[in-house]
A and B are shown apart, each in its own frame.
Chain A
Amino acid sequence: MINKILNLGDSALYCDFGQEVNKEVNSKVIKYFYSIKKSNIEGITNLTPSYNKLIISFNLSITNFKKVKKEIEMLNFDYKNKIINKEIQIPVCCEDSFSLDIKRLEKKLNLKSEQILEKFFNKKYFCYMTGFIAGMPFLGDLEENMRANRLETPRVKVPKGSIGLTEQFANVYTFESPGGWNIIGNTPLNIFDSLNESEPNLINAGDTVIFKEISYNEHKNYNE
């Protein structure tokens, strides 16, 4: 259940699922997201699921906080409802010119780059949410000894396709953007396609992601 519902300004509901960040809590958020999306409650203009929160934006010309809150509380919600998720493989090249922060991570984590990459590739990731920039997936969880903070000074430009690590999460920069995550590689795969309006995101919340290491040549000659 939602722990509490607050207002975020006059045009959004802030649904709080607690402080914990884990798959179970996040799966609840995602299930709520899909249920509300299907419900067609009048005036809702946007839904933003994240690790443990769901923000519901609405059009104040049509409805208000009280009305939407009541509708959400009355919503017939089925926890057994399964999330339809896919497993996606992402090819990643960790050649020097792509792994911009591997040296920094070696020092920070006190691990050799081979160890970092081995831990990184040997894992299945869960997509908690997408956003910040269009289509960017937030993937978890990295092992405890793989967790590093953001760069002290964020980069003005992180190249498109960069794979970043921060805290317990990995992400993919879907296009060139400012950013502060520790970059360890690059994928030639297009993760966000704005021309595909019905399915712009390759990875959606609830999906499973596996990273597969590829060589520089494979990256260069990659054909989707």
Chain B
Amino acid sequence: MSIKTTMSNSYFELIRSGINTTYQDKGRENLYHIGIPYSGAMDNRNFLLANKLVNNSLNSPVVEFAYQGPYLKYKGDKISIAVTGDVIFKIIKNGVEIIGDCYESYQIESGDEIDIISTNKTIYGYLAVGGEIDVKFQWESCSINTKAKIGSNNGKKLENNQTIKLLKLNSNKDKKKLDYINSKVENIRVIKGTNFNYFSEEGKQNFFEKKFIVSKLSDRMGMRLKGNKIDNIVNTNIKSEGLVRGVIQVPPDGNPIIMLSDHGTIGGYPKIGVVASVDYDRLVQISPGSKIKFTEIKLTDAETLFKLYEMDTDNLLRQI
């Protein structure tokens, strides 16, 4: 399906940038060997839904925010916007406040303001605008990786008072809506890691039986956990080797760290497990202070469940 667009001089003014506000798309591939991770939208399902709600192609750049979103003032031609995730926001039209609903598109006109107040019980939310945001691409992706200073906006978070320029606007601004609730989970399925046997019997048992608490020291690179220490009985260091998204490393202090989308590509701590792909979108949304519990899953089951999750996402996209 081709999307009809018109050229634009429209833009958003960022009166407040929010916390960890970045441009993201699906990220970049084939760069692990030089030390560059995927990056990309943390919660892929909410990223795709946001784009579909405003009639964009699914891999269009969106605005990702964590905890608190941006406050934006719009100048330009009529446009549609949508917010996804578990987000509290309002739209201000001529001084009148409208409480916004996630998974629903809204028409915005010049002078309107959007206040994305906060995420509710999760971390990440997405703002999609019906059109093409003026972003820079590096290795075919606009995704901002603030650690390596790669991607759009010179690899930096969006800041107060900057603008989000729109190159094109979609002609179709029809109201779109999806009946969907962004559910939160605390049970995360994990496949045993390559160093699972480095840990004591008690440690292995604790890993799959006890709950962990998500630490405040968590970001797009990794999620740090606290709980019953996981004792290493073989070696607390391994020869540095590649990491992937979802790998759970256990450093000498016994507190697991989960590698997330902006992770360092190489690491030297033993890998106790890897989060099943089916649970990645929900994992990244677990906020600091929350409890998390790991359940073991076999490879073939993880593969089947991922297929079902993808079908479910496709179904949701079709409903829009």
**Interface residues in chain A, defined as those with a beta carbon under 8 Å from any beta carbon in chain B:** 6-12, 14, 19, 21, 33, 45-55, 57, 60-61, 64-65, 129-136, 138, 174-175, 177, 192, 194, 197, 200-201, 204-205
Contact = CB atoms under 8 A, between A and B. Distances in A.
A53 B241 contact: yes
A45 B29 contact: yes
Closest 7 CB pairs of A and B: A48-B242, A9-B274, A55-B242, A131-B35, A46-B32, A134-B35, A131-B266
Contacts of B38: 45-46
Contacts of B306: 10, 60
Contact of B244 (A11, A19, A131): A11
Given A11-B277, A45-B29, A55-B244, A134 B239 contact: no
Interface stretch (B109-117, B144-152, B159-167, B285-293): B144-152
Highest count of chain A CB atoms <10 Å: which of B33, B193, B239, B240 = B33
B267 A194 contact: no
B303 A33 contact: no
A7 B239 contact: no
A194 to B, nearest CB: 5
B32 A57 contact: yes
Contacts of A55: 32, 241-244
Interface in B18-40: 29-36, 38
Given A8-B247, A60-B303, A130 B34 contact: yes
B138 interface: yes
B299 interface: yes
B31 A46 contact: yes
A47 B299 contact: no
Contacts of A6: 194
B247 A131 contact: no
Contacts of B264: 131-133
A9 B277 contact: yes
Contacts of A60: 277, 303, 306
6 contacts: A8-B271, A8-B274, A10-B277, A50-B240, A55-B32, A60-B306
A134 B150 contact: yes
Given A10-B302, A53-B241, A175 B35 contact: no
Given A47-B32, A55-B32, A194-B150, 16 more contacts: A7-B299, A8-B193, A8-B274, A9-B246, A9-B302, A46-B38, A48-B242, A50-B240, A52-B239, A53-B239, A65-B299, A131-B33, A132-B240, A134-B35, A134-B36, A134-B148
Contacts of B194: 6, 8, 14
Nearest to A20: B239
A52 B275 CA distance: 24
A148 B246 CA distance: 31
A68 B303 CA distance: 14
B306 to A, nearest CB: 5
A65 B300 CA distance: 9
A22 to B, nearest CB: 11
A46 B35 contact: no
Interface string B204-246: 0000000000000000000000000000000000011111111
Nearest to B150: A194
A194 B149 contact: yes
B266 A46 contact: no
Contacts of A197: 138-139
Interface string B268-285: 000100111100000000
Contacts of A201: 34
B33 A49 contact: yes
Highest count of chain B CB atoms <10 Å: which of A19, A45, A204 = A45
Contacts of B299: 7, 10, 65
Contacts of B53: none
Nearest to A197: B139
Nearest to B30: A46
Nearest to A14: B194
Given A9-B246, A9-B275, A55-B241, A130 B148 contact: no
A138 B241 CA distance: 11
A46 B243 CA distance: 11
A48 B240 contact: no
Contact of B276 (A9, A48, A132): A9
A131 B246 contact: no
Nearest to A7: B299
B148 A194 contact: yes
A206 to B, nearest CB: 11
B32 A131 contact: yes
A136 B244 contact: no
B229 to A, nearest CB: 19
B277 A194 contact: no
Contacts of B244: 8-9, 11-12, 46, 55, 57
A50 B303 contact: no
Given A53-B241, A53-B242, A205 B138 contact: no
